[in-house]
Amino acid sequence: MAATHISEVVLESSNGRRTMPVLGFGTASNNLQREVFIEAVLEAIKLGYRHFDTASLYGSEQSLGVAIAQALKLGLVASRDKLFITSKLWSNDAHPDLVLPALKKSLQNLELDYLDLYLIHWPISATPGKLSHFLEEKDQMPMDFKGVWAAMEEAQRLGLTKSIGISNFSTKKTQNLLSFATIPPSVNQVEMSPFWQQKKLREFCKANGIVVTAFSPLGAIGTSWGTNYVLESKVLNEIAKARGKTVAQVCIRWVYQVGATLAVKSYNKERLKQNVQVFDWELTEEDLEKINQIPQRRMISREEELVTATGPYKSLDELWDGEY
Ligand code: A2P
């Protein structure tokens, strides 16, 4: 199969006009052997994927770095600037003076001089000095949003990243950030699938020039926090059958057609191929309306962990500001 050209969106607040491929390769679950992971990244590049999404938390930065170096050496991509690499600031480093060191550590892991996009991973800080996947209640603390964002802006000004953004920010938290940002976030990456459509957030982001990126667009099936109700949905299966596509393709196409971007995770060659074949067909207005009617339910990911008696979020309402 010839490489697919994946369309791109403009990131308005980027340091220099920069575009982002709408479809990215997610690396959130990384319990694979390094060789298998690298092979999947190389395969993805051959298929046309150019956007790779990682985070210091995922533990995938180093393997991704090795894969990128190999892809360049093999000539699968002409140069570094043909790739778009996203990483994320984890809560233990979400303190004003720790942002630049954390970003530099990510660059070192990735063997890169700059990132294309650096995101605040979650709107919560934690005790500095450790990288803990699970944020214990005693380690949680409110984020100094102004201080952390100023350091993110500094990172962009210094050229360590071309663009900056946020992840898991509700409309209200995004609005608050915009009230003091001198460089607005380019992207807000959030859970989004036909089962959690993020209509309010998408409208707000569109009005403010922020690109929404969907994570877990297939419901993150196969992970500890994932769910099968997306891929097993009756409505989505009917639409897929009528279009001669798979449910995964319907989900990916839906994200694209409603104007968002996405990171989808697969390390399987056939599914990688399938997931990129979404640009030469369309969902009809009727399909979109059926999807629009799907009752909404958010996945339970970090909610139980982040809603605590003594941490910054004492209820789901405080974490998501009513958007749940
Ligand atoms: P695999 O890596 O074996 O392909 P999400 O992107 O929502 O987090 O979902 C990722 C999960 O969905 C992974 O378990 C991945 O498994 C699976 N997946 C990815 N693409 C497809 C597809 N086209 N069909 C079915 N499952 C898929």
Which atom from ligand 1 is nearest to the alpha carbon of 217? 7
Mean pLDDT of 273-283: 96
- Nearest-CA residue for ligand 1 atom 9 is 220
Q: Does residue 129 surpass a pLDDT of 90?
A: no
Name the CA radius of gyration of the chain, rounded.
19
The neighbour count for residue 228, using CB atoms within 10 Å, is 12
Query: If pLDDT is split at 50, 70 and 90, which confidence band does 131 have?
Result: confident
Share of the chain above pLDDT 90, in %: 84
- The overall longest dimension of the chain from CA atoms, in Å, is 54
Average pLDDT, the chain: 94
| Cα separation, 301 vs 220, whole angstroms | 10
User: Is residue 274 in contact with ligand 1, taking CB distance under 6 Å?
Assistant: yes
Contact between residue 61 and residue 87 where contact means Cβ atoms under 8 Å apart: yes
Residue 222 Cα to ligand 1 midpoint, Å, equals 8
Map tokens 């985070």 to a residue: 55
* pLDDT at position 281: 96
| Cα separation, 84 vs 8, whole angstroms | 11
User: For 18, phi and psi rounded to 5 degrees?
Assistant: -140, 140
User: Is residue 217 in contact with ligand 1, taking CB distance under 6 Å?
Assistant: yes
* pLDDT at position 30: 61
Residue 235: name the closest of 161, 287, 187 by CA: 287
* pLDDT at position 134: 86
Which one from 49, 58, 118, 267 is the annotated catalytic residue?
A: 58
Higher pLDDT, 59 or 155: 155
User: Is residue 264 in contact with ligand 1, taking CB distance under 6 Å?
Assistant: yes
User: Is residue 246 in contact with ligand 1, taking CB distance under 6 Å?
Assistant: yes
- Nearest-CA residue for ligand 1 atom 8 is 220
User: Is residue 266 in contact with ligand 1, taking CB distance under 6 Å?
Assistant: yes
Which atom from ligand 1 is nearest to the alpha carbon of 271? 23
Calculate the alpha carbon distances from 14 to 46, 86, 108, 223 in Å: 27, 13, 22, 33
Structural domains of the chain, with CATH: 8-320 (3.20.20.100)
pLDDT, tens digit, 9 for 90 and up, residues 28-48: 876 778 999 999 999 999 999
Give the mutation target among 52, 249, 266 for probing the ligand 1 site: most ligand atoms within 8 A of CB.
266
**121 known ligand binder:** yes
Contact between residue 70 and residue 98 where contact means Cβ atoms under 8 Å apart: no
Residue 302 Cα to ligand 1 midpoint, Å, equals 20
- Nearest-CA residue for ligand 1 atom 2 is 266
pLDDT, tens digit, 9 for 90 and up, residues 73-82: 999 999 999 9
Residue 64 Cα to ligand 1 midpoint, Å, equals 18
Contact between residue 102 and residue 56 where contact means Cβ atoms under 8 Å apart: yes
pTM, 2 dp:
0.96
Higher pLDDT, 283 or 18: 283
pLDDT, tens digit, 9 for 90 and up, residues 102-121: 999 999 999 999 999 999 99
* pLDDT at position 323: 79
The neighbour count for residue 55, using CB atoms within 10 Å, is 23
Query: If pLDDT is split at 50, 70 and 90, which confidence band does 299 have?
Result: confident
User: Is residue 126 in contact with ligand 1, taking CB distance under 6 Å?
Assistant: no
Q: Does residue 187 surpass a pLDDT of 80?
A: yes
Helices (H) and strands (E) in the chain, counts: 12, 12
Give the mutation target among 51, 268, 273, 277 for probing the ligand 1 site: most ligand atoms within 8 A of CB.
268
User: Is residue 248 in contact with ligand 1, taking CB distance under 6 Å?
Assistant: yes
* pLDDT at position 15: 86
Mean pLDDT of 312-322: 91
Query: If pLDDT is split at 50, 70 and 90, which confidence band does 132 have?
Result: confident
User: Is residue 219 in contact with ligand 1, taking CB distance under 6 Å?
Assistant: yes
Mean pLDDT of 304-320: 91
* pLDDT at position 17: 64
Q: Does residue 234 surpass a pLDDT of 90?
A: yes
Residue 267: active-site member: no
* pLDDT at position 220: 84
* pLDDT at position 139: 95
* pLDDT at position 18: 87
Q: Does residue 160 surpass a pLDDT of 90?
A: yes
Residue 211 Cα to ligand 1 midpoint, Å, equals 23
